[in-house]
Amino acid sequence: MENHLFSARKLAVLRNVAHWRFVASGLPEEVPEARHCKHDTWARRHVDVHPNREVLVVLGGAGYQSLRGRSYPARPGTVFFFDAMEPHDLQYSPTHPPADHLWFHFMPDRCSVSYLRVGKGRSQYRSVWHRWYTLPELGLSAAEVLFPGNAPSSPPETVRRRCAAALALLVTSLVEKGYEKPQAHPKEDFHSSIIQTIVRHIHESHGRGCRLASLARIAGYSKYHFLRLFQKHTGTSLQTCVNNSRVQAFRKMAAAGAPLRVMSSDLGFAFPSALCRWRRRQGI
């Protein structure tokens, strides 16, 4: 039976659990750090930090990915775990070699899954397919079970086994979806559901790290199309939504007597002075 999500070669990578190699904070090093002049130079200027968790499974090709300022080779079977607010590459460098990447983006109650084909050129990558699932549809009750930082008191090998088991369940559930007949959703309802998921994410994160490029990629749209859909389904702009979330969160924290430095960090400002400038612009 043919799988409509993955080729036989990609299925072999996903099923070969014994050969998965993890790159994650809090786990023993399984993939040695690598130096690559072009990637490292580019990566220093293109850093992404956001509150949602992500997992990258390399299905094919070559290249490099960064985690917390360190670069690692991205080869088939390598799995990168990007926990909340962990610095990593902002999309792909123009010189990235051809590769196939499977991304899981975890939102409050759903998971966005993207199969990207990376290659040299202006576009850097293209989407082969994009899907949205609830976590129970992918066999998980919460995304936290995938990430090492959520069991700091357990031995590293025990944590690694938990992460591997959760990832195996996640991947197996997705592969099974590839043998099912794709379900059609009313387009307007589907778009509205995605935008509302993004809105909940913005509110829960107080707008911290909510960049247009990252949110559009999670949603599976171009930046222009995402902005248009966001305006249509919310009646406001993305920037206004982010600012409103920050204003509400700031007022709650200020009323509770939170220190300026804590409020600055929680709202995504690099320095308290940046928070003060933002307050003046908002008139609060």
pLDDT for 30-46, tens place per residue? 999 998 899 999 999 99
What are the structural domains, with CATH classification, of the chain? 8-183 (no CATH), 184-284 (1.10.10.60)
- Indicate the pLDDT class of residue 230, thresholds 50, 70 and 90: very high
Residue 184: the pLDDT is 65
Query: What is the model's pLDDT at position 130?
Result: 92
Q: Write a three-state SS string for the chain.
A: CCCCCCCHHHHHHHHCHHHCEEECCCCCCCCCCCCCHHHHHHHHHCEECCCCEEEEEEEEECCEEEECCEEEECCCCEEEEECCCCCEECCCCCCCCCEEEEEEEECCCEEEEEEEEECCCCCCEEEEEEEEEECHHHCCCCHHHHCHHHCCCCCHHHHHHHHHHHHHHHHHHHHHHCCCCCCCCCHHHHHHHHHHHHHHHHHHCCCCCCCHHHHHHHHCCCHHHHHHHHHHHHCCCHHHHHHHHHHHHHHHHHHCCCCHHHHHHHCCCCCHHHHHHHHHHHCC
Checking if the pLDDT of 189 tops 80, the result is no
**Can you give the pLDDT at residue 121?**
58
Question: Which one has a higher pLDDT value, 235 or 209?
Answer: 235
Residue 186 pLDDT exceeds 60 = no
Residue 149 pLDDT exceeds 80 = no
* Confidence (pLDDT) at 283: 79
What is the per-residue pLDDT for 213? Answer: 86
| Strand 78-82 relative to strand 21-23, pairing | parallel
pLDDT at 55: 98
| Model pLDDT, residue 160 | 93
195-228 confidence digits (pLDDT tens) = 999 999 998 888 888 889 889 889 988 889 999 9
> What pTM was estimated for this model as a whole?
0.88
Percent of the chain at pLDDT exceeding 70: 96
The mean per-residue pLDDT over the stretch 67-90 comes to 95
Mean of per-residue pLDDT scores for the chain: 90
- Mean of pLDDT values over 182-202: 80
pLDDT at 176: 96
Comparing 149 with 31, which gets the higher pLDDT? 31
Calculated CA dihedral for residues 126, 23, 134, 139, nearest 10 degrees: 130
Average pLDDT over residues 265-275: 83
The predicted-structure confidence for 103-140, as pLDDT tens digits, reads as follows 999 987 889 999 999 986 556 788 899 999 999 999 99
65-69, 147-151, 208-212: segment of lowest average pLDDT: 147-151
188 band by pLDDT with thresholds 50, 70 and 90: low
